[in-house]
Structure 1
Amino acid sequence: MKILIVEDDPLYAAQLEWLVGSLSYEIAGTCTNAFDAINLFHRKSPDLLLLDIHIIGEIDGIQLASHINKIRKTPVIFITSLSDDETFNRVQQIGPAGFIIKPFNPLQLQRVIELTVAKLGELNQNHSFQDNDLILSDCFFIKVREKLVKIVLTEIFYIEADDRYSIIHTISGHKYIIRIPLGELEEKLPSSAFIRTHRSYIIQSKYIQSVNVQDETIQLNQINIPMSKTYREKILDKIKRL
């Protein structure tokens, strides 16, 4: 779980860094303005944002959150000294995970962070694939023991079915088992990148090295994935268009 901190007050920034570290989460970066925050967001892909509203520059924290959500929906916790109605009404339009007034109680903020992380974990545990839930535009989260592990879609090598479970194989060699049927998972993956080759397999098309029509297999690196007749024509048609 990576957390990006945007805070222009050095004392509060240090306090937030200490709190995030004490919770054993990774700090994706700390900055004081929207420009640096957007750069860090692209480079580090944080899972949660701690944002001050009154930050350095023309773009405030609320505008920054709105811009980031257009890139990728990401939970936001606002931490601010501004408590007027106008500010709160603007914040409501963002739909943040939390709104904390300075000076804040560290335990209060800790609880809000923990509730936000727990909500992400609950989505994974329940496997509720709503449009705004588990799968985001470029990644999704897997609960592994007490941690949430982010799976970037471009790093998925192939996926195989195991009864009502799916086993995700990444290009780095890791395997993750999730309690989601392969067909349900297929519906939420971008069809431009993933191909169903068999009732038990989905592959990422960019890793295809060769297709053996006679043996009905697709080679991904040193692994041969079966290709059933049901999906063969669709696969060959897609490969022609790659």
Structure 2
Amino acid sequence: MENNPVRILIVEDDMIIGANLSIQLTSLGYEVTAIIPRGEEAIMHIREQSPHILLMDINLKGSLNGIETVKIIQKAKDIPIIYLTANSDDATFEKAKETQPKAFITKPFNKVSLQRTIALVVEQLKESKETIDNEQQIEVLDDRIFVRHNGRMEKLLLDDILYIEADRNYCTLITQKVNHILTCTLKVMQEKLPSTSFVRVHRSYIINISKLDVLADGHLEIGRKVIPIGKSHKGLLLNRIRTI
């Protein structure tokens, strides 16, 4: 998705509106996979083309309206939905909400509203993909962790980890012999590792508490590494030390 344009399917039975949407989206750098007027055709198209986002008119003509079409699609595929609607009555809105759409765009739409709405959904897609990628890089089993390296999962004993240092969306697992760099946030690491052994002591550090050598007022030491202690993390660290 980073190197290829985001692919959007437009399901709209007013072809003038559909064409206008397509022109606007294309000018914003998105790829429109098709403009489809009927729900049945949309179901087939999504099976065959797998667009990233579905722009769906609620009030489709034909045997299936937009909400019914989405419900069928969602049984087979998880795709972000943005509803197009000129009908803002409460009953329709509540039915649409049941399908958990990412957004609603009210007709007549304007380019700025369309641009911002699509941009927000695309950002959510990227975050979702990063989360999945992060989850796939790490697997924790009892006393060991498996990390993805050069296309394969390599074993690392938890007891060998001294501490973990974060730099934005990267984490470095520090051991005495080798360091492992993962495309992963510190929050993901914190959720994966057992809290009995690993404690977050700073926005950028998690430590293996059994490796702690020195505890001072505002920092700690593991080996020769000086690690700061964040004020919000100090209480938890002290409580954990007392229970060792």
TM-score with structure 1 length normalisation? 0.54
Residue equivalent to 2:25: 20
Deviation at 1:58, TM superposition (A): 1.3
Q: Which residue among 161, 165, 183 is the counterpart of 1:179?
A: 183
Offset, 1:159? 3.8
Alignment of 1:183-202 (within 5 A): none
Mark the CA change 1:128 to 1:86 in structure 2 (over 3 Å): closer, same or farther: farther
- Hey, what does 2:125 align to over in structure 1? 120
Question: How far is 1:2 from its partner?
Answer: 1.1
The one of 40, 45, 48 aligned to 2:45: 40
Residue 60 in structure 1 maps to residue 58 in structure 2? no
Task: Render the CA deviation track for 1:74-130: whole Å, top value 9, x for unaligned.
Answer: 100001111000100001101101111111122101101000000111233455878
Runs of 5+ in structure 2 lacking a partner?
1-5, 137-149, 157-163, 165-169, 171-181, 189-244
Following superposition, the deviation at residue 49 of structure 1 comes to 0.2
User: Aligned partners of 2:113, 2:132: CA distance in 1, in Å?
Assistant: 28
Q: TM-score, normalised by structure 2?
A: 0.53
Q: Which amino acid aligns with 1:50?
A: L
Per the alignment, residue 141 of structure 1 pairs with: none
Alpha-carbon offset, residue 14 of structure 1? 0.9
Residue identity over aligned pairs, in percent, reads: 35
CA distance in 2, matches of 1:41, 1:122: 22
Alpha-carbon separation, structure 2, partners of 1:73 and 1:126: 16
Q: Which has the larger radius of gyration?
A: 2
**Paired residues of 1:6 and 1:33 also in contact (CA < 8 A):** yes
SS at match of 1:50: strand
Q: Give the aligned length.
A: 145
Code of the residue aligned with 2:183 in structure 1: it is R
**Structure 1, gaps ≥5 residues long:** 135-157, 166-177, 185-242
Q: Does the 8 A contact of 1:127 with 1:179 survive in 2?
A: no
